[in-house]
Amino acid sequence: MSFFRLIDKGKGPTRLFVGGVHGKEGLSTIHALKKIQSRDVQEGKLIIYNCDTSKYISTLDKKYYQTPIGKEIVRLIRYYKPEVYVEPHCYHEESYISLTDLQRKEKIGVPPLIELEKGVLIGSVSPFIRTSLFKREDVCLTLEMPCINNQDLSFDQELNLKPKLAFDLYVDILKKIALAQDRKDLENKMSEKYPLQVERARKYAREFFGEYPPF
């Protein structure tokens, strides 16, 4: 479900949020991205883009960036030159174990995602774009929540409490990132509630990127 919003508060950092980058994720991420309003940005710019449904190809596959959506994401990054780049994703329950597997680096070449709480995961974006399109000090994050459906969004049944808690946290993290001025500012904000997760992210960054940490 394609969606675009530009919030411009003048001088300050440029942020780019791109959701729904593959498969049907955009049907979930659009609901979170639409929650971000002008009041959630104090200065600088925030560009929000949610992609249309597409064939699922992992962003860890270099061929992804030869697809129409992959090329569009690269175009957006090159055009806006964001200092803060976030890919909001969603995952199905059966994928949780593989996404957070401590052996993920040995198995597929990238570190595991880190759970903040309530099933919301955080990590780096694909190394194919992290190291080629961004500066060392830029913020480049993947944020994952369990995929939702229209029934989940009603949030009026006890059955829907779990996805509601994850969704609300996901939106809250996106808004924190929208307020962040730079990587240090974001680390400080996140460390207030998630000190162990932030330190673990630093550790993965040092191990994987060396002198080119993503978080």
The continuous run of DSSP H or E covering 192 comes out as: helix 183-193
Give me the number of domains the chain comprises.
1
- Residue 89: which residues within 8 A CB-CB, separation 6 or more? 19, 21, 25, 29, 142, 143, 144, 145
pLDDT score for 62: 92
- Whichever domain contains 146, its CATH number is 3.40.630
Euclidean distance between CA atoms 23 and 103, whole angstroms: 25
| Residue 215 maps to a domain | no
* Residue-level pLDDT at 124: 93
In a domain, 214, yes or no: no
Contact residues for 210 (Cβ-Cβ < 8 A; gap 6+): none
pLDDT value of residue 154: 57
User: What pLDDT score does 152 carry?
Assistant: 57
pLDDT the model gives residue 210: 73
Please say whether the beta carbons of 114 and 201 come within 8 A. yes
Where residue 100 falls (left for φ over 0; alpha for ψ -120 to 50; beta otherwise) is alpha
pLDDT, position 111 = 95
Assigned domain for 28 exists: yes
Q: Residue 203 sits in which domain range?
A: 3-209
Note whether 129 and 76 are within 8 A (CB).
no
Query: Of 28, 7, 6, nearest to 19 (Cα)?
Result: 28
On whether residue 90 sits in a domain, the answer given is yes
Q: Where are the beta strands (DSSP E) in the chain?
A: 3-9, 14-19, 44-50, 84-91, 114-117, 120-124, 139-146
Instruction: Give the pLDDT score at 159.
Output: 44
Is 16 inside a domain boundary?
yes
Residue 75, domain member (yes or no): yes
**Has residue 106 been placed in a domain?**
yes
Q: Tell me whether residue 62 is in a domain.
A: yes
Which pTM value belongs to this model?
A: 0.92
The pLDDT assigned to 85 comes to: 97
Torsion sign across C-alpha atoms 200, 212, 176, 155: negative
Rounded to whole angstroms, the Cα distance separating 146 from 95 reads 9
Per-residue pLDDT 10s for the chain (215 aa) are: 579 999 999 999 999 999 999 999 999 999 999 999 999 999 999 999 999 999 999 999 999 999 999 999 999 999 999 999 999 999 999 999 999 999 999 999 999 999 999 999 999 999 999 999 999 889 999 999 999 876 555 544 544 577 889 999 999 999 999 999 888 999 999 999 999 999 999 899 888 877 655 54
